[in-house]
Structure 1
Amino acid sequence: MKKIIAIFFVIVGMMSSCTKDEASMYKHRILPVKEIKAPKEFEFGRVATITITYELPNTCSYFRSLYYEYKGTTRVIAVNVVEDLETACTQKVIKNEFKFPVRAVQRNDYLFKFWKGKDKEGKDVFKEVVIPVK
């Protein structure tokens, strides 16, 4: 019985020490794609690599995942990052690359829309790249 009570107090103590809400510790953001390196064409059934360049705004931000949304032959690409709000950081911009594979599973041309940010009116701006399939 004493062991059960001791375990109970350890668990309660651990839970009470975790008072900060994770949402207040991290900020999730979508960043624009700065540069794109893509093949001139895809070969049907084969895998090709696309390389994007993005810039982290400070040393507290890190790559989380590629934002990759597709519908039909259109792909929308951006960068998901997380910023640690609990860490002291510098405002040094960090340039990184990310490579991702694309398997050509359809015979139609692929339209990639790389998110470049927002314009003065707040509308999304994209760099469109069409890659034909041979």
Structure 2
Amino acid sequence: MKKVLVPILLFVACSWFSSCDLDDDSPNFYFAALTAVEADVPESFELGKTYDIEVTYERPNGCTFFEGFDVTKTDQTDRDVVVIGSVLTDEENACPQEATEVVATLKFHVIYTGEYHFRFYAGEDENEEPIYLEYTVPVDPEPTN
């Protein structure tokens, strides 16, 4: 029975993956880095706790949607954070061009002592060099009761 069932299941699984065919070869969206305006970080962290960091970012138009955060660990307690959005490219729908500020929450778990250094991507300067909002948050050595 096992010799018959395994090839049948393998055939079914392969047919699921090979049967997908998209009508259009071009995607109708792309991902983009969004500009952080402000981050509401606590004055200090406690080791082992998880914090909600509210990040205000600029949504440049009505066709840009929040997708999440790209958090890069550059050193043990250093983090570069980029707000990621998807931008629709569907030319059939008009996008409101009004920029708005939106707040998203970054959940952050503290696992090291010392100080955490955050750099939130805030766009580019006139030389196309990245600009960052920088925050330093110390970790309390002793938890409060």
Structure 2 counterpart of 1:90: 96
Gaps of at least 5 residues in structure 1 are: 1-11
TM-align CA RMSD: 1.7
Distance 1:92 1:120 in 2: 23
Matches for 1:35-74 after TM superposition, within 5 Å: 35-71=38-74, 72-74=76-78
Q: Which amino acid aligns with 1:57?
A: P
What do the CA deviations read for 1:71-119 (whole angstroms, capped 9, x no partner)?
Answer: 3111111211111110321102132111122111001210000111111
Runs of 4+ in 1 over 6 A off after TM superposition: none
Distance 2:65 2:107 in 1: 21
What do the CA deviations read for 1:34-90 (whole angstroms, capped 9, x no partner)?
Answer: 111110000111112211001111111101111211131111112111111103211
Identity of counterpart residues, as a percentage?
24
Structure 2 counterpart of 1:107: 113
Contact 1:39–1:49 (8 Å) recurs in 2 = no
Gaps of at least 5 residues in structure 2 are: 1-18, 141-145
TM-score between the two structures when normalised by the length of structure 2:
0.76
Structure 2 counterpart of 1:18: 23
Contact 1:116–1:125 (8 Å) recurs in 2 = yes
Distance 2:116 2:24 in 1: 47
Distance 2:96 2:49 in 1: 42
